[in-house]
Each structure stands twice: as structure tokens, then as C-alpha cells.
Amino acid sequence: MSHEPPISLWPDPRALGPVTDLYELTMMVGYLASGMAGKLATFELFVRKMPANRAYLVFAGLEQAIGDLLRLAFSPEQIAAIRGWPAFRHVPREAMDALAAMRFEGDVWAIPEGTVVFPGETLLRVTAPLAQAQWVETYLVASLAYPTLVASKAARIVSVAGGRSLQEFGARRGHGPHTGFLAARAAYIAGFDGTSQAEAARLLGIPASGTMAHSWVQAFPNEDSAFAAFAQTFGGAATLLVDTYDTLEGVRRAAAIEPPIPAIRIDSGDLDDLTRRARAILEENHRSGVKIMVSGDLDEHRIAALVEAGAPVDGFGVGTELITSRDAPALGMVYKLVELDGQGKYKLSPAKRTYPMAKQVFRQRDASGRFAGDHVTRADEIADGEPLLVPIVRGGKLVEPLPRLEAIRARCREQLAALPARLRPLDARPDYPITYSDRLEADASRLMSPRERDQAGN
């Protein structure tokens, strides 16, 4: 009997260098072999198109992305393996040696996390030697698109929850066990109050939220003994799950416990009806202080309906719909070369106009402080409004410590409060105005071929 340990698919955070598409590595080596690796390049990250059912996005995930970027490196074992792959067999040794020694030493500008953003505007800009700037493409997109999806979905839920407590309950429904960390943080930024994922709560310093599963109730001879044992162990922190057998019977049993428990949770059934009946039972039993939490396939539409109907719900636990951003599980986030050696770079996209050169985004507000429109300029232009991109990394080092999570959350709250009213409804159309400066328009036109200019209608 052998006990070989199975493979671990957790990457070493000190050797994330090849956690990227192979073609980034081939291009890096190609640039090294062609003497182009050191040319100064600027790439920009942006979202091409609004996903379904969204009128705005909340940018999130930057702290992790930057943290990993600053540690990015290859281990000797990784380099040895890459050298052995067919594509790399004829690559000059000096190029492979340079790859092995590569670190990220460039500059990064980005829009701060928690900011409301829109397709077509630069969210993050990397200026670095070409090989380094190319290296980070896959990793940055993989690290930023998903938290942005979750924060954007969470913001919709927050917008209809009427100030009730919101808990991220999705850990088991994420795309692998790592997802829970990114989702818990993104949801918290957008206004959720806590997460069920214990280690995410610990690492992030956010409230961990949890009750009990049906299996707890089933493990005891009856519901009364299950509730009593839980209340005895956890005292004033015990939230009891009341719907294992008969929900209203469960509520009556929970209401009888001395001293009173703080909350009950209902995970199934007609939540509008059951929470009203549960509230009545709690009142009859002098338990007006007991809160009612609900969960079970909730999304922004079901939560909005419960809140509008006035169901006596104190808190919502949201799992699958949030952690998978189920109605829009992918974001068309891209990272494109816009400048090389001071020259604008440009590729006509059939779906959407794009612009060369390093850029800045200015956000303009109306008299009431609401967002009125964003104006995209070259990075060296100045326009009215708040410049959204700020320097984050210079020469491979943080410019200053990144904002703390509570500050990011506060920024997001202010940002969501400043959304134009027409973008707030769950079915709002994505019609926020983005304009481009005359210099950008001229730069783009200059780089177009005559045929492209025809296609673009210029």
C-alpha cells in the first residue's frame, strides 16, 4: 500500500512567473532574442463592452493584482521545464537566462479600487520594458476581471437591499476554492457586511458570518436538543437555522430558548410569507429583538421583491448568484499595446473604436455632485474634472501604501451615491457618456489606413 501524496495545484506565490499564457513567455523570449525587450511600452487595460444586465461597473481586485506583480518571478525548476518545451529548444541561451532573471520593474497607474467605471476607459496602465509589460497581461486580466464582476453584481444587490445586512455566502459555489477570497473582498468593497468564508474574513479583517447547517439539526435526536446545544455553546452569538423540518415549528422552538438567541435563519420556502409569520411568532413570544436572516438562491431581483413587499427581513445571505456573477459570468476585459518607444500603437477593432497613446480619464460631476460624464485624454493632457488614474507603482516599487480595505469601501459608497439616477434601476440601460479628446481622435485617425478611416466613418 503506497501513500503517494496527490498533486497540489496551489501555485507558489513566490514563483507566479509562468502563471500566464504560454504566448506571453514566447513573446518575452522573442523580444529578448530580437533585441526589443528593453523598448519602453505602454499597455492599457480596459473593458470592451458592458456585460448583460449592468449599467455600471465597480473596479476591484487591484491590491492582489499589484501585490503579485511586485513579487513576480520564476523558480529555477520552472525555467528548466520551459527550456525543455518544443517551442523553446532553439531559443538562444542568453534570452532564456534573461527570462529567468526577469522581475517587474515598470510603472503602473490605475483607477483606485471601489471606483465606478465604464467600458472604453483606461482602468490601468502599465509602462515598462516591452518584455515585462507583455508578461503581466494574462495575470492582470485574470486578477482584475473577476473581482470587478463580483463587486459590480454586489453593488446591484446593495442598491435594492434597503440598508439590510448582506452576507456573502458563496464559498462553495465559486469556481474553485481560491475564488472565495476574491469574492469576499469584492463584495465587501461594494457594501456587503461580511462573508461566510472564515479564512477570507481572517486575512481581510472583515466580519465572518455563519450560523449552522441542516446537518447540525439532523445530528441531534430532535430540533429542541439541537437548538439547546448550539445556544449553550455559542450563547449570545447563536443564529439558529429553523427550516430543517417545519419552519414555523422551528421558529416557535427558537423563540422558547432562554436566554434569547440573537437571530434565526430561514433557507427555503416562500420567504415573504414565512418571515411575516416568523416575526409574528417572535413578537407573541416577547422576542422582538430576534433578527430574521434569509438565504437560498437569492439575487438582486428576489431581494428587491422582498424589500419592496416589506417582508420583515433583517439580513440576506447571498451565495451562488453573487460569487458566479451568474447572469454575467464573464467580462470582456482586455490589455492592449497603445504606445511603444513614444509611438502610438493602434488596432482597429470591428466592434469598437480604440485609441493609441497613454491615457488619463477625467470624471466630471454635475452641480449636485452626480457623475455627468467621463472624458478620456492623452496622459499628458489636462481637462476638467477629477483625474481617475493615479500612480501606484514606479520602477517596480509601490509609490505609497495602497488604501486600506475600509477606505476602499468608503470610496465605493461615495461613488455609488454619486451615480446618475437613471443608472440605478436594476434594468437601467448603460448609457453613461464617455468622450475622447480631440488629440486622441487625431492620433487615432493618423494611424488609420485609408480603408480603416472609411470603415470608421471618418
40, 73, 100, 204: which one binds a second copy (CB under 8 A) = 204
Q: Tell me if 143 contacts a second copy by CB under 8 A.
A: yes
Report in angstroms how near the CB of residue 325 gets to a second copy at its nearest. Answer: 8
Report in angstroms how near the CB of residue 170 gets to a second copy at its nearest. Answer: 9
Nearest to a second copy of 285, 320 (CB atom):
320
Q: Tell me if 93 contacts a second copy by CB under 8 A.
A: no
Subset of residues 306 to 365 that bind a second copy, contact rule: CB under 8 A: 320, 324-326, 329-330, 333, 336-337, 340, 345-347, 350
Contacts of 137 (CB under 8 A, 6+ apart): 20, 21, 24, 43, 335
Among candidate residues 272, 278, 273, 208, the one with its CA nearest the CA of residue 242: 278
Q: Binding-site residue total for a second copy (CB under 8 A)?
A: 129
Query: Cell 437571530 appears where?
Result: 263
Report in angstroms how near the CB of residue 285 gets to a second copy at its nearest. Answer: 24
Binding range to a second copy, per CB under 8 A, among 158-166, 193-201, 371-379, 432-440? 193-201
Burial degree of 144 (CB within 10 A; 0-12, 13-18, 19+): buried
Subset of residues 220 to 239 that bind a second copy, contact rule: CB under 8 A: 229-230, 232-235, 237-238
Q: Tell me if 36 contacts a second copy by CB under 8 A.
A: yes
Among candidate residues 377, 370, 329, 343, the one with its CA nearest the CA of residue 446: 343
Nearest to a second copy of 178, 422 (CB atom):
178
Q: How far apart are CA 235 and CA 258, in angstroms?
A: 10
Nearest to a second copy of 31, 432 (CB atom):
31
What are the grid coordinates assigned to 313, written together? 427581513
Q: Tell me if 456 contacts a second copy by CB under 8 A.
A: no
What are the grid coordinates assigned to 303, written together? 431581494
Strand (E) or helix (H) holding 47: strand 40-47
Nearest to a second copy of 162, 205 (CB atom):
205
Report in angstroms how near the CB of residue 434 gets to a second copy at its nearest. Answer: 23
Burial degree of 119 (CB within 10 A; 0-12, 13-18, 19+): buried
Nearest to a second copy of 83, 424 (CB atom):
83
Going by the DSSP 8-state scheme, the letter that residue 208 receives in this structure is B
Binding range to a second copy, per CB under 8 A, among 138-146, 280-288, 363-371, 437-445? 138-146
101, 162, 218, 366: which one binds a second copy (CB under 8 A) = 218
**Beta-sheet strands, E only, within 304-449:** 315-318, 333-340, 343-344, 359-365, 371-378, 386-387, 390-394, 397-398, 434-436
Contacts of 260 (CB under 8 A, 6+ apart): 287, 289, 290
Subset of residues 116 to 135 that bind a second copy, contact rule: CB under 8 A: 130, 134
Subset of residues 165 to 184 that bind a second copy, contact rule: CB under 8 A: 169, 171-182
- Calculated CA dihedral for residues 4, 6, 11, 14, nearest 10 degrees: -20
Binding range to a second copy, per CB under 8 A, among 84-92, 101-109, 280-288, 416-424? 84-92
Q: Is the separation of the CB atoms in 126 and 108 below 8 Å?
A: yes
Q: Tell me if 285 contacts a second copy by CB under 8 A.
A: no
